[in-house]
Structure 1
Amino acid sequence: METSLTLTLRRPGEIEITAKERPAIGDREVLVKVAACGICGTDRHIYHGSYPASYPVTIGHEFAGVIVETGKDVRSASIGDLVSVNPNIWCGRCAACLEGMPHLCAGMTALGVDLNGGMAAYCAVPEHLLYRMSPGTDPLKACLAEPISCVLHGVDRLQMKAGSRAAVFGGGFIGQLMLQALRMQGAAEVVLVEPQPLKRRAAESLGFAAIDPLSEKDKLERLTDFDVTADCAGAGDVLMQCVRLTKRGGDVLLFAAYPQGKAVPVEPFDIFRKELRLIGTFTYPDTQLRAVRMIEAGMFELDPIISEVALHDVADVLEGKRDDRIIKGVVRLP
């Protein structure tokens, strides 16, 4: 049997890279030779044990690759197809699934969380999770269909009107995507609030205003009456700041994946008195086809915010050792 390098998270904080055999596939599965896999904030939470996962597991739920083998009952995918993957597997039987909200499935499992994912040369993937992409698409961008799909779902839930003003807190990869998605949705003004210079510079290079909440507190205090604010940071008192900056009758999008069990300060009176909508958003049910089209059309500026890293460097990224140099790490698999 052919063996290849696989990254396994044995338990929180313990990564092992070993040679493993190619996984076997079922009748309705394909074997994807992974070309690239993104490192996500959720991966970091799994690494630190603050997001539920099934250990040991090969992490990586943002990935794309080429199909090299198909099960006997596979009909809509072929060997040689370049595909991106929706990692979420829904039960199809719970109330959420039956009511058209499969992303809220009570029994959902996910590749890279509960089942082995994309930080390996090969991954077995159910046929219905595949999205075919144009053969010439850069794999480092193709693998980002999953996070872009999540951002599109969040923006859809906002139902934002063209000409709106928006503020995004947190300039990590998701925050950078959110800035661009809000602008494409028709926002007349989109401002980033972010303390790290690297992330502010990236946003500014893409034409967005950026404010340092530490050194420019006076400027932050003067901001007010945004139609939309988005918490893409998941830290400190960001959620309270979003509530303060949002206009009466406005929307606050809670996008950040706060660690399970973490509580944050918020003043309910402001939500009540300003009649704000506090909107949660979790993964996505139906946006990956749009994400694929937008990647292929080059609608998102991705080059300034992604960095290629080696499989052996994933632990450093998960531990935050490269946060001053990398906004989004993407692993190119051999």
Structure 2
Amino acid sequence: MKAAVYHGPNKLEIADVDEPQPSPGTVKIQVGFNGICGTDLHEYYAGPIFVPTEPHPLTGQQLPLTLGHEFSGTITAIGDGVTGWAEGDRVAVEPIYKCGHCSPCRAGNYNVCQQIGFHGLMSDGGMAEYTVVPTSMLHRLPDNVSLELGALVEPMSVAYHAATLGDVEPGDTAMVFGAGPIGIGLWFALRGKGLDDVFVVEPSPTRRAAIEALGAQTLDPTATDVPAFIAEHTGGDGADAVFDAAGVTPAVATALACVGSRRPMISVAIYEKPLETPLLNLVMNESRIQGSLCYTGADFEAVIALMADGRYDTTGWVARIPIDDVVDAGFEALHAGKKMKVLVDPNGARA
């Protein structure tokens, strides 16, 4: 079968590898779509970062390996001892490997497991025609949720988890900084939680246009004094929650200048460079910064339910490519800012 095998910086090979077969407690999945994540880009251009160069404690795998942790597909084979799942079931995959015994795992917060692993970063993943996963990773897709949407459940769950940590409710004012895929996911999640007053702050005209086409209110920080606007809009109270999906100092500084008293800035970005951000407003308002990592199964189920209710739309920001084009039309196009979200179709018409 074809698979996108990662060997190190700028070396991703579309290789012919053996089809995996299910072991006890696992299923074999024919991949429908696999999204290219920002983490995949970091690995391709600057890695290995998260991809292990020695056997991972939970998966036993190491470089080189098949990428892909945002994917959906159809079960084609069942391992021994598997119950509740059948060939033909359509699924989204929650790709976390967890130890089950560290303090976060014992508390139910396995998304911050001390030995956390990801299918497609610490094991052979979904950027291939087939992959094998344990049944603990499976989430059933309703009939009206496509495999295309199913591949977006993982990144949309990252955003939904962050939105939940913002502790917002209908009637609140929220702000999203950055209109990339996670920023778009935050907007969908906040809307799904009943918020109407959501502003997306994005300097890129292309990205602003994409999220405006979905119905979002946007602010251009190069043309608008964003803190002054929010102060006037909220009668001086500030936003009830702000979400940083941009990961750069100007966005964080502006977000902290907008957040209301004792309200959070939720950080869901990857910070490539150290931030130099004044914290005076944080102190004077007793506001706070809250980190957000990944998701749990509850986030997956919430996103799938919203998708089944028609609350997510891929128009204008999601592109599909065959696996043979993954480097040029995928990684290079995303890195150059020519595309926003790319789903790799490894099986074409057979899926």
TM-score bin, normalised by smaller chain: over 0.9
CA distance in 2, matches of 1:156, 1:136: 25
CA distance in 1, matches of 2:42, 2:116: 18
Structure 1 portions without partners, runs of 5+? none
What residue number does 2:34 align with? Answer: 37
Residues 198 and 325, structure 1, Cα contact 8 Å, conserved in 2: no
Residues 160 and 185, structure 2, Cα contact 8 Å, conserved in 1: no
Q: Deviations over 1:203-254 (max 9, x none)?
A: 211222222223x144665443222111111124211111011122222110
User: What is the aligned counterpart of 1:246 among 250, 259, 266?
Assistant: 259
What residue number does 1:165 align with? Answer: 173
What residue number does 2:234 align with? Answer: none
What residue number does 1:312 align with? Answer: 324
CA distance in 1, matches of 2:334, 2:192: 33
Q: Provide the secondary structure at the position in 2 that maps to 1:145.
A: helix
Q: Provide the secondary structure at the position in 2 that maps to 1:21.
A: coil
User: What is the aligned counterpart of 1:24 among 17, 21, 24?
Assistant: 21
Measured after TM superposition, the shift of residue 120 of structure 1 is 0.2
TM-score (norm: length of structure 2) = 0.88
Distance 1:175 1:135, change over 3 A: same
Mean CA deviation greater in 101-110 or 233-242: 233-242
Distance 1:314 1:213, change over 3 A: farther
Mean CA deviation greater in 61-70 or 223-232: 223-232
- Amino acid corresponding to residue 311 of structure 1 in structure 2: I
What residue number does 1:201 align with? Answer: 209
CA distance in 2, matches of 1:311, 1:150: 24
- Amino acid corresponding to residue 103 of structure 1 in structure 2: N
User: What is the aligned counterpart of 1:80 among 88, 101, 114?
Assistant: 88
TM-score (norm: length of structure 1) = 0.92
- Amino acid corresponding to residue 305 of structure 2 in structure 1: R
Measured after TM superposition, the shift of residue 159 of structure 1 is 1.0
CA distance in 2, matches of 1:279, 1:158: 8
What residue number does 2:58 align with? Answer: none
- 4+ residue segments displaced more than 6 Å: none
Residues 164 and 186, structure 1, Cα contact 8 Å, conserved in 2: no
Measured after TM superposition, the shift of residue 86 of structure 1 is 0.5
Q: Does 1:15 align with 2:28?
A: no
What residue number does 2:240 align with? Answer: 227
Q: Deviations over 1:155-174 (max 9, x none)?
A: 11111132111111111011
CA distance in 2, matches of 1:221, 1:57: 49
CA distance in 2, matches of 1:190, 1:253: 15
**In the TM superposition, what are the counterparts of 1:183-194 in structure 2 within 5 Å?**
183-194=191-202
What residue number does 1:140 align with? Answer: 148
What residue number does 1:300 align with? Answer: 312
What residue number does 1:326 align with? Answer: 339
Distance 1:219 1:72, change over 3 A: closer
CA distance in 1, matches of 2:221, 2:332: 24
What residue number does 1:48 align with? Answer: 45
- Amino acid corresponding to residue 53 of structure 1 in structure 2: V
What residue number does 1:68 align with? Answer: 76
Measured after TM superposition, the shift of residue 189 of structure 1 is 1.5
**In the TM superposition, what are the counterparts of 1:207-218 in structure 2 within 5 Å?**
207-214=215-222, 216-218=223-225
- Amino acid corresponding to residue 20 of structure 1 in structure 2: V
Percent of aligned pairs with the same residue? 28
Q: Deviations over 1:41-66 (max 9, x none)?
A: 11112222354212212111110111
- Amino acid corresponding to residue 88 of structure 1 in structure 2: I
CA distance in 2, matches of 1:293, 1:253: 23
Distance 1:204 1:321, change over 3 A: closer
CA distance in 1, matches of 2:340, 2:227: 23
